[in-house]
A and B are shown apart, each in its own frame.
Chain A
């Protein structure tokens, strides 16, 4: 992926004429970037623009692939918080022609002893570094053969051209690195490397000479290089490593845009602990290959742990593997405790369970790396996903004990889990991890498990087979009649043709215990109260989140839709749940007088089929520009956007019925990404697309008094960029005033002194 779609877009004619076959210029440019379409398909790209593109296409730092698919370099940022670091540093252990055969054998055998897995990643020494003293062709070739026999990739440190040629001939199929080019031999060494098609390592006495040498090699047509930046001292080596990286990424000089080799073995001069310290530093500061004198467990445990941390994708939550973790000597007869795969949750829960000293099987369920409540609300931690985990891991057969403790925060799922896992006694555990040691020690779960077993037995005796009902049947039998109550508030109506900003009230959400209870009990009062407040405050749409609602989703949604629309003059609604049947059912009873229903939401990943659902039901869909985790940049956001746009259009949707959500990010923690989000909104707007999103997420965790101020500022900036809608708390007066004022400035509504409504306090 050399070319960035957005860079191409800047040079594009921006006519959106569709002559190329793509719906918009942006979509076309994204395809060109992916290599799916030739740029000539567009008749309007100027020759100058095309030439300029060719020049700008190279990435700042090359990705070099060696060995059996080992990737080096390809980095785009200096610090891991800016974006994702791409290719982790790799390790090498050296052998030398000056060593005896026995020494070599011992060294390679010791190296092979470190080979283990840590959080899903194989930890081992990726390279053998073969060093030739320079006057010993036969010995070098013998050494290469021994190194090849380890199955690891090779770095050949050979400065003699003839020896290098013979050695490369032996091992070139294994794609080694020939670390051989110096200012003295570069022409001949370059010929050896290019003839064999292997990566060439480059070294020189100082950084200026190194730069000159790279220029010469590039001039000779070789860009398959790695740079050995090792100097005589650690100090100078750090200077080289940093300056090479900085020159490439900050100054944009691609001649230093290559991976680096750092030989800490040379710098540490036999001091093993110093070597570990230096290797730690170069893991953080820009080595691609670190050559260690040896890698034993004392070195491997900290260094691989550090590397795994540093190269973790900050955009993606750290996940632990979904499996059974037996704690405190648990066996098949020990009780089971269940939680999600978010790494921090796992560390917290397993730590507290260990503190209890009670044997317990901790079962980690796949929840896309989200915390318990977030995963539950997103439908990623549900009775179905738990059932799937149980099947995948074959827990039924691996564990005989039938007590299953679930997190207290999802007590509401107890019944559903009990149904999906017959034979298990589901017990609700504590809501906080710190309560676990006491809970386990006191064996509180035993009585609860007995009660669950008795309940299940009683139920089994009475259960009769129920056939699945059609929506009409459900409506007739399962949805309580709606009583219209006068709440003193009337929904004023909405014209979908108007260009005023659309606010979607977010306050009917199952993450609120009050709403959850009301939904469970079909108790209208709390829901009507929140609806009335939001409508009075000026909400255009109301969001209706019924939770994952796996069991009774359709009748729940039908009830909620009828309840709200019949009470409030057919207020338009956004139907918000992971249960598709429920959305379908909701649309069946939905009245379109004040606008189409909104499906909340689809994404470009596992939830993309919600676009189909919207298309089939002539609904609007909120399209989250993400797939697996938050998009790392606008390149990715726009890629997701166009995937979804094309899917919607191909199913006959209007482009304006897809409302794209860039995903607003929390300022605390992602401050440096805020402008990305705002710029994405501008890109949507430039293509005539509509946008929306959970705007108040930006101020999550900020003091209550500050949040309205931040939200108002952001909505003004976002509206300037072209945001057409937002999912907000309409009861935030400052925010709503700001939105109405912005609509005035955007000339969406006509000014009058009372444009904020009947507000004697302001007149």
Chain B
């Protein structure tokens, strides 16, 4: 009796969400199986890779990364260069310097940067804030307004500010909005319900359900991804069927494995290799768990994950 493996295809499916416009527009989500389970059913849209560009990118130290962006000074320079990175599908503009407890750059300056980037590139744009609720609220609204028609994704609305961010980004300016929660499936569902309550369309929502570098409490991320995906597919829970985006680079490039110099940790070898491997491993783990898009930084890491996705889809 020949063995034939059973197929498991679910009634529920992940929403397909389009980001950007024109030829370079991308679609994330759409599948009705677990990540890379092509043996159950084909994957509608391969996961996508976003390249992080920060307004603090000048402070990055990894040699090959610096070399890649050699000569870039403005955010638009970086963005144009990032578009040429093999494996890149979209760009993520990270406005770290807006933080009032840091450099406190003005909203006007950040908006000007975003506009300059939008004029210089054709790839879809994702906006990441500075984590300060008040500043982000203003920043997100102004950028969403300035980039109207570009179909950008703004990261993120949180339980503290979903009303203002959801209303301005998604409702007033027709952009896509991220729903950010920290490793808690119940909160993730709650936030989606609240956004829908504001009349934000489910297909305008992308989730960030929590991030961590591998080794740093990643078990919470892994189980949240598993549970969110199983709820969306097996239970057909429409409040959790939004595609998932995982900002990877901001976590991985800050942990000791990536930052410790070779003098401090002689046994560990080349620091840049460690930074890349932490980013690669964390991105692969996220994609395996349920992320439909990852945000990464280093060209070598992006190339490896692009290859990884190509091999599996």
Contact A239 B219, beta carbon cutoff 8 Å:
no
Contact A306 B281, beta carbon cutoff 8 Å:
yes
Which 9 pairs between the two chains have the least Cβ-Cβ distance? A305-B215, A302-B281, A273-B304, A211-B3, A277-B284, A306-B214, A239-B39, A280-B284, A309-B219
Any chain B CB within 8 A of the CB of A397? no
Contact A305 B3, beta carbon cutoff 8 Å:
no
9 A-B pairs with C-beta separation under 8 A: A118-B215, A211-B3, A238-B312, A284-B289, A298-B276, A303-B214, A303-B281, A308-B215, A309-B214
Contact A277-B308, Cβ < 8 Å, known A284-B285, A310-B222, A312-B219: yes
Contact B269 A276, beta carbon cutoff 8 Å:
no
**B287 contact set on A, CB distance < 8 A:** 281
- Which of B112-120, B130-138, B157-165, B223-231 lies at the binding interface? B223-231
**B283 contact set on A, CB distance < 8 A:** 277
Contact A309 B281, beta carbon cutoff 8 Å:
no
**A281 contact set on B, CB distance < 8 A:** 36, 284-285, 287-288, 308, 312
Bound form: Cα–Cα A243–B6 in Å = 8
Residue of chain B at shortest CB distance from A208? B3
Contact A277-B278, Cβ < 8 Å, known A246-B8, A297-B267, A314-B223: no
Residues 280-313 of chain B, each 1 if its beta carbon lies under 8 Å from chain A, else 0:
1111110111000000000011011101100111
Contact A243 B312, beta carbon cutoff 8 Å:
no
Partner of A302, one of B186, B215, B269, B300: B215
Contact A251-B6, Cβ < 8 Å, known A80-B223, A113-B267, A306-B218: yes
Bound form: Cα–Cα A314–B311 in Å = 32
Contact A296-B215, Cβ < 8 Å, known A242-B37, A278-B308: no
Bound form: Cα–Cα A289–B222 in Å = 20
Bound form: Cα–Cα A281–B311 in Å = 12
Partner of B218, one of A285, A305, A669: A305
Contact B274 A208, beta carbon cutoff 8 Å:
no
Any chain A CB within 8 A of the CB of B68? no
Bound form: Cα–Cα A20–B39 in Å = 52
Residue of chain A at shortest CB distance from B281? A302
Contact A305 B267, beta carbon cutoff 8 Å:
no
**A211 contact set on B, CB distance < 8 A:** 3
Residues 230-256 of chain A, each 1 if its beta carbon lies under 8 Å from chain B, else 0:
000111001100110011000100000
Any chain B CB within 8 A of the CB of A627? no
Any chain A CB within 8 A of the CB of B148? no
Interface residues of A (CB under 8 A from B): 79-81, 113, 118, 207-208, 211-212, 233-235, 238-239, 242-243, 246-247, 251, 267, 271, 273-274, 276-281, 283-285, 296-299, 301-306, 308-310, 312, 314, 318, 343-344, 347, 668-669, 671
**B289 contact set on A, CB distance < 8 A:** 284
Bound form: Cα–Cα A246–B246 in Å = 27
Partner of B219, one of A207, A273, A301, A310: A310
Residue of chain B at shortest CB distance from A296? B269
Instruction: Tell me, rounded to whole Å, the shortest Cβ–Cβ distance linking A462 to chain B.
Output: 49
Bound form: Cα–Cα A281–B39 in Å = 16
Interface centre among B36, B38, B216 (most CB of A within 10 A): B36
Instruction: Tell me, rounded to whole Å, the shortest Cβ–Cβ distance linking B24 to chain A.
Output: 25
Bound form: Cα–Cα A80–B221 in Å = 11
Instruction: Tell me, rounded to whole Å, the shortest Cβ–Cβ distance linking B98 to chain A.
Output: 21
**A243 contact set on B, CB distance < 8 A:** 5, 39
Interface residues of B (CB under 8 A from A): 2-6, 8, 36-39, 184, 186, 213-219, 222-223, 226-227, 230, 257, 267-270, 273-274, 276-278, 280-285, 287-289, 300-301, 303-305, 307-308, 311-313
Contact A305 B216, beta carbon cutoff 8 Å:
yes
Residue of chain A at shortest CB distance from B273? A298
Bound form: Cα–Cα A302–B277 in Å = 7
**A212 contact set on B, CB distance < 8 A:** 2-3
Residue of chain A at shortest CB distance from B8? A246
Main secondary structure of the interface of B (DSSP, over half): helix
**A113 contact set on B, CB distance < 8 A:** 267
**A238 contact set on B, CB distance < 8 A:** 36-37, 39, 312
Instruction: Tell me, rounded to whole Å, the shortest Cβ–Cβ distance linking A361 to chain B.
Output: 20
Contact B274 A271, beta carbon cutoff 8 Å:
no
Residue of chain A at shortest CB distance from B220? A309
Contact B278 A239, beta carbon cutoff 8 Å:
no
Bound form: Cα–Cα A669–B139 in Å = 34
**A312 contact set on B, CB distance < 8 A:** 219
Bound form: Cα–Cα A548–B268 in Å = 46
Contact A309-B312, Cβ < 8 Å, known A207-B3, A301-B278: no
Contact B284 A242, beta carbon cutoff 8 Å:
no
Bound form: Cα–Cα A260–B218 in Å = 24
**B267 contact set on A, CB distance < 8 A:** 113, 297
Instruction: Tell me, rounded to whole Å, the shortest Cβ–Cβ distance linking A105 to chain B.
Output: 20
Contact A277-B281, Cβ < 8 Å, known A242-B39, A297-B274: yes
Bound form: Cα–Cα A271–B3 in Å = 34
Contact A306 B2, beta carbon cutoff 8 Å:
no
Instruction: Tell me, rounded to whole Å, the shortest Cβ–Cβ distance linking B54 to chain A.
Output: 21
Contact A235 B269, beta carbon cutoff 8 Å:
no
**B277 contact set on A, CB distance < 8 A:** 273, 276, 298-299, 301-302
Instruction: Tell me, rounded to whole Å, the shortest Cβ–Cβ distance linking B132 to chain A.
Output: 15
**A298 contact set on B, CB distance < 8 A:** 268-270, 273-274, 276-277
Partner of A81, one of B227, B257, B280: B227
Residue of chain A at shortest CB distance from B6? A251
Partner of B307, one of A118, A246, A271: A271
Contact A235 B312, beta carbon cutoff 8 Å:
yes
**B304 contact set on A, CB distance < 8 A:** 271, 273-274, 276-277
Bound form: Cα–Cα A277–B283 in Å = 8
Contact A277 B305, beta carbon cutoff 8 Å:
yes
Instruction: Tell me, rounded to whole Å, the shortest Cβ–Cβ distance linking A477 to chain B.
Output: 52
Residue of chain A at shortest CB distance from B311? A234
Contact B257 A305, beta carbon cutoff 8 Å:
yes
Bound form: Cα–Cα A637–B215 in Å = 31
Contact A276 B280, beta carbon cutoff 8 Å:
yes
**B230 contact set on A, CB distance < 8 A:** 79
Partner of A301, one of B2, B222, B274, B308: B274
**A310 contact set on B, CB distance < 8 A:** 218-219, 222
Bound form: Cα–Cα A118–B2 in Å = 45
Residue of chain B at shortest CB distance from A233? B311
Contact A309 B222, beta carbon cutoff 8 Å:
yes
**B227 contact set on A, CB distance < 8 A:** 79, 81
Instruction: Tell me, rounded to whole Å, the shortest Cβ–Cβ distance linking B297 to chain A.
Output: 14
Interface centre among B4, B223, B289 (most CB of A within 10 A): B223
Bound form: Cα–Cα A437–B270 in Å = 32
Instruction: Tell me, rounded to whole Å, the shortest Cβ–Cβ distance linking B129 to chain A.
Output: 20
Instruction: Tell me, rounded to whole Å, the shortest Cβ–Cβ distance linking A135 to chain B.
Output: 32
Contact B269 A79, beta carbon cutoff 8 Å:
no
Contact B219 A314, beta carbon cutoff 8 Å:
yes
**A303 contact set on B, CB distance < 8 A:** 214, 281
Interface centre among B36, B217, B219, B276 (most CB of A within 10 A): B219
Contact B269 A273, beta carbon cutoff 8 Å:
no
Given contacts A118-B215, A235-B38, 7 further A-B contacts (CB under 8 A): A239-B38, A267-B311, A277-B280, A302-B215, A305-B216, A309-B214, A347-B217
Residue of chain A at shortest CB distance from B217? A309
Residue of chain A at shortest CB distance from B298? A273
**A301 contact set on B, CB distance < 8 A:** 215, 257, 268, 274, 277-278
Interface centre among B3, B289, B307 (most CB of A within 10 A): B3
Residue of chain A at shortest CB distance from B269? A297
Interface centre among A276, A283, A310 (most CB of B within 10 A): A276
Contact A207 B5, beta carbon cutoff 8 Å:
yes
**A304 contact set on B, CB distance < 8 A:** 215
Contact B280 A273, beta carbon cutoff 8 Å:
yes
Instruction: Tell me, rounded to whole Å, the shortest Cβ–Cβ distance linking B211 to chain A.
Output: 13
Bound form: Cα–Cα A277–B223 in Å = 19
Bound form: Cα–Cα A283–B226 in Å = 14
Bound form: Cα–Cα A671–B184 in Å = 12
Bound form: Cα–Cα A310–B281 in Å = 13
Bound form: Cα–Cα A299–B215 in Å = 13
Residue of chain B at shortest CB distance from A247? B5
